[in-house]
A and B are shown apart, each in its own frame.
Chain A
């Protein structure tokens, strides 16, 4: 059964320096509150996995939490670069960041394989791309039945998965609505999982085919209202697209970024 913890307790108990941490949410339900708590607790040397690093990893990388990033698209969607990610890759600030990059299809398959308990994922992918030349985790295998050449990547099996969701009931069962992304797969692929939710309710109100994670498949649940902002939670609040645009200016230089981090993360504690 999932244990109900405060966000501060959950991060402290389940995320250790050096862990491999996958914080997912495909544009939607991005666990910003948890990311900020990880920054406040000054976790270090994390290997961060995420299909779309987004602002949350830009902030964590800029704050010095990460030693390695595994990803498939590292931009500010519709706006441009992630400047903290670029600064780490291009200039090694605040520390050198190792990167390993995939395509979305490969990462999606790798999460799914992780959830399925398999060591690898197979896909019809990376044909003609230079990505296999710079990522030694991309291999090609021959289908034993047809002889077709297919791409293979190792499954994703993180130490910890962190996601945000709309609701949990009082037993710790969680419902995810809208763009469900890779939320279910990352939780099932990980050794431990932390789910932050908008609210804890008596009845999930889930339809029969809803995306539900049972309490016994989750390690910890923490209530974190508005925990996905400036991303969004369908049914609760919209994506703050104006902030995504503003982030470009905030993150562009180290001083404005650090001032933002101090004012909005370090001095703000858990809401």
Chain B
């Protein structure tokens, strides 16, 4: 059997599989939110999803457009204030995984969501840090999902909004009370993990029908591949069905509103 699927679907399904039932996940908006809810609706029904708007253990029926849509609050176990969210729940050590997207990522998994170019005279001004700088250091580990392109995967980010492993791969060394940082990066082409020693991102698995050349072409540095390079399992019929239904519900919900 061979199912038709897009590279975006492959990315969401793979990102969803990274989450397990026992995790408490602080969810970023966009791709991470799609993946996290797909996990909840498939193999991880009890995964705890938390959004920075203060909604704890939320179970939205459609994907929120913003991190504070009413749907998140109404389907949550409870809703706390934003200071409580960041101080007690995140900084207090209750989050096992932070799930983030980004505009730029570099070889040490540093994330840039601040700007392209020079800070005082930006070529492109991006939204900024939001919750990410502290999610990345106070969650026990971090998953990142982002589309793979040369514009996004750069050797060195223009600005470190959110630390992965720093400019030299050593930013977390000897820092007390800090999480492990990024443990996996999932793109529409492959999955990457930091090298245990150098912390440089290494491709560990290619998605079906993706070649090494595709990844090299879409990466702004001399990307390395694991010796035991795997092929990511293709999406199952169930995963695709649930993902497509979720996206269809979401689309009709957000366009139909007045």
Q: Contact residues of A with B, CB < 8 Å?
A: 26-28, 51-52, 71-75, 77-79, 81-82, 85-86, 89-90, 101-106, 108-109, 111-112, 123-131, 134, 148, 178-182, 184-185, 211, 232, 234, 238-242, 244-245
- Report which residue of B54, B133, B254 has the largest number of chain A beta carbons within 10 angstroms of its beta carbon: B133
In the bound complex, residues from chain A placing their C-beta under 8 Å from that of B171 are: 127-128
Question: A182–B131 Cα gap in the complex (Å)?
Answer: 14
B125 adjacent to A27 (CB under 8 Å)? no
A26 adjacent to B53 (CB under 8 Å)? yes
Size bin of chain B's contact surface: 35 or more
Chain B residue nearest to A54 (CB atoms) is: B66
B86 to chain A, nearest CB (A): 4
B86 adjacent to A109 (CB under 8 Å)? yes
Question: A84–B122 Cα gap in the complex (Å)?
Answer: 15
Interface code B171-205, partner A: CB below 8 Å = 1, 0 otherwise?
11001111000000000000000000000000000
Q: What does DSSP make chain B's interface, helix, strand, loop or mixed?
A: loop
A27 adjacent to B129 (CB under 8 Å)? no
B129 adjacent to A131 (CB under 8 Å)? yes
In the complex, which of the residues B64, B69, B81, B172 contacts A181, with contact meaning CB atoms closer than 8 Å? B81
Interface code B216-258, partner A: CB below 8 Å = 1, 0 otherwise?
0000000000000000000000000000000000000111111
B161 adjacent to A130 (CB under 8 Å)? yes
B133 adjacent to A239 (CB under 8 Å)? no
B48 interfacial contact with A, CB 8 Å: no
A87 to chain B, nearest CB (A): 9
A240 adjacent to B166 (CB under 8 Å)? no
Known contacts A26-B54, A101-B128, A131-B114; 9 additional CB pairs below 8 A are A75-B126, A82-B127, A90-B122, A101-B129, A104-B82, A109-B83, A179-B73, A179-B79, A238-B70
Number of residue pairs spanning A and B whose beta carbons lie under 8 angstroms apart: 190
User: What 10 A-B pairs have minimum CB-CB distances, sorted nearest first?
Assistant: A27-B68, A128-B163, A75-B127, A77-B66, A73-B130, A78-B65, A105-B134, A128-B171, A105-B86, A103-B133
In the bound complex, residues from chain A placing their C-beta under 8 Å from that of B152 are: none
Question: A103–B129 Cα gap in the complex (Å)?
Answer: 5
In the bound complex, residues from chain A placing their C-beta under 8 Å from that of B122 are: 89-90
A104 adjacent to B130 (CB under 8 Å)? yes
In the bound complex, residues from chain A placing their C-beta under 8 Å from that of B133 are: 103, 105, 125-127, 129, 131
Question: A234–B128 Cα gap in the complex (Å)?
Answer: 27
B81 adjacent to A185 (CB under 8 Å)? yes
B160 interfacial contact with A, CB 8 Å: yes
A27 adjacent to B163 (CB under 8 Å)? no
A-B contact pairs, 22 of them (CB 8 A): A28-B70, A74-B128, A78-B66, A89-B122, A90-B122, A103-B131, A103-B132, A104-B86, A126-B133, A126-B134, A127-B133, A127-B172, A128-B137, A128-B160, A128-B166, A130-B114, A130-B159, A131-B114, A179-B73, A232-B70, A239-B66, A244-B66
Question: A134–B125 Cα gap in the complex (Å)?
Answer: 14
B138 interfacial contact with A, CB 8 Å: yes
Given A78-B29, A123-B91, A238-B257, verify A73-B82 contact (CB < 8 Å): no
In the bound complex, residues from chain A placing their C-beta under 8 Å from that of B29 are: 77-78
A3 to chain B, nearest CB (A): 26
Chain B residue nearest to A233 (CB atoms) is: B70
A127 to chain B, nearest CB (A): 5
A112 adjacent to B127 (CB under 8 Å)? no
B43 to chain A, nearest CB (A): 25
Question: A182–B81 Cα gap in the complex (Å)?
Answer: 6
In the bound complex, residues from chain A placing their C-beta under 8 Å from that of B52 are: 104
A229 to chain B, nearest CB (A): 10
Question: A241–B119 Cα gap in the complex (Å)?
Answer: 31
In the bound complex, residues from chain B placing their C-beta under 8 Å from that of A78 are: 29-30, 64-66
Within B12-35, the residues touching A (CB, 8 Å) are 29-30
In the complex, which of the residues B87, B125, B162, B175 contacts A108, with contact meaning CB atoms closer than 8 Å? B87
A105 adjacent to B91 (CB under 8 Å)? yes
Given A108-B86, A127-B175, A178-B79, verify A240-B258 contact (CB < 8 Å): yes
Chain A residue nearest to B132 (CB atoms) is: A103
In the bound complex, residues from chain A placing their C-beta under 8 Å from that of B110 are: 128
Chain B residue nearest to A182 (CB atoms) is: B82
B67 interfacial contact with A, CB 8 Å: yes
